[in-house]
Amino acid sequence: MLYATDSIIELAKSTEEGQEPLVFIPIKTDLTDEEKIEDEYEALGFFVTKNPLDDHSVRLDQLDTTEDMTPQLEREAVHMGGLMTDLKSITTKKGKEMAFFTLEDLKGRVEVVVFPSIYQRNKHLFKKNSIIELFGVLEIQTREINGEEITILKIKVTKIKPIKAGRITKKVMLYPAEKDDFERICDIIKSNPGEVGVEVLYHNVILRSQYKVSYDSKVLEQLERDCHLEKIYQE
């Protein structure tokens, strides 16, 4: 269900007689924000008012993402988080329930399989649009679609739990060993602006950068490779 904004309502009032009438989608005023978001997703396949994952972006940045999932990681352990969509449960020949769903994070989607032992222990978590974390193993499957073989990435769950709040990084402290490290540090920071403060400890002197850097995990990993990095968390 789409929801008309104030600007659309004003546009309707301004329509003159004789003009072709505008078409509007009915507004439900008695829905919660969560219900509105859910209706939008069901109708369109994406979020309009707000993506509920935005409230968990700090935590999601600390985990693996669908963007990281490649065939080269087959049989590797993954730790991911996101929205549970397209949830389906089935009963096996032995009479046990298992589930399939799509995990959607801020980067994309990946298929997930949950076997009976994991499903039974965590049945309360399997609800449409639940936001969860999972541990699993990446598997590669192939399907033939219209005569073409397609590679499918699928995660087999080993553990699942509610998503936890991510700790907010207030600033990072860097420990360059050489003067030459400063140039690389500056290039990374300037190329990836954000909200995290940067300080550098060099020969027992703390230097504060005038620039702030993105919290993106790949950016911080790059800084970590160039010199030791310590995260200072918001109190």
Q: What is the pLDDT of residues 64-83, one digit of tens each?
A: 999 988 888 889 999 999 99
Task: DSSP letter for 19, please.
Answer: S
Claim to verify: residue 68 and residue 158 sit in the same structural domain? yes
| Domain enclosing residue 98, as ranges | 56-162
Last residue of a domain, one of 108, 132, 162: 162
Q: Tens digits of per-residue pLDDT, 202-217?
A: 888 888 888 888 877 7
Residue 157, domain CATH: 2.40.50.140
The answer to the question of residue 12 being in a domain is no
The answer to the question of residue 32 being in a domain is no
Closest CA to 30 of 67, 63, 71, 1: 1
Claim to verify: residue 179 and residue 128 sit in the same structural domain? no
Question: Whole-angstrom Cα distance, residue 129 to residue 52?
Answer: 9
Last residue of a domain, one of 104, 137, 162: 162
Question: Whole-angstrom Cα distance, residue 110 to residue 65?
Answer: 9
Q: What is the pLDDT of residue 8?
A: 42
Q: Tens digits of per-residue pLDDT, 78-109?
A: 999 999 999 999 999 999 999 999 999 988 99
Question: Whole-angstrom Cα distance, residue 162 to residue 112?
Answer: 16
Claim to verify: residue 152 and residue 177 sit in the same structural domain? no
Q: What is the pLDDT of residue 202?
A: 85
State the virtual CA torsion across 188, 192, 197, 201 in degrees, nearest 10.
Answer: 0
Question: Whole-angstrom Cα distance, residue 3 to residue 147?
Answer: 42
Question: Whole-angstrom Cα distance, residue 188 to residue 209?
Answer: 12
Q: What is the pLDDT of residue 7?
A: 44
Query: pLDDT truncated to tens, each residue of the chain (235 aa)?
Result: 344 444 444 444 545 555 555 555 555 556 666 666 666 666 656 565 667 788 888 888 889 999 988 888 889 999 999 999 999 999 999 999 999 999 999 889 999 999 999 999 999 999 988 999 999 999 988 878 788 888 888 999 999 999 987 777 788 888 888 888 888 888 888 898 888 889 888 888 888 888 888 877 778 888 888 788 787 765 4
**Got the DSSP string for 43-85?**
HHSS-SS--GGGGGHHHHTTSB-GGG--GGGTT-EEEEEEEEE
CA 163 to each of CA 72, 79, 80, 103: distance values in angstroms, whole numbers, following the listed order: 27, 11, 10, 13
Residues 6+ apart with CB under 8 A from 17: none
The answer to the question of residue 25 being in a domain is no
Task: DSSP letter for 14, please.
Answer: T
Q: What is the pLDDT of residue 224?
A: 83
Helix (H) or strand (E) holding 147: none
Claim to verify: residue 157 and residue 175 sit in the same structural domain? no
The answer to the question of residue 137 being in a domain is yes
The answer to the question of residue 69 being in a domain is yes
Q: What is the pLDDT of residue 1?
A: 38
Claim to verify: residue 225 and residue 150 sit in the same structural domain? no
Range list of β-strands (E), 13-147: 77-91, 97-104, 109-114, 131-145
Distance of alpha carbon 140 from its chain centroid, rounded?
Answer: 22
In contact, 224 and 172? CB cutoff 8 Å: no
Claim to verify: residue 175 and residue 220 sit in the same structural domain? yes
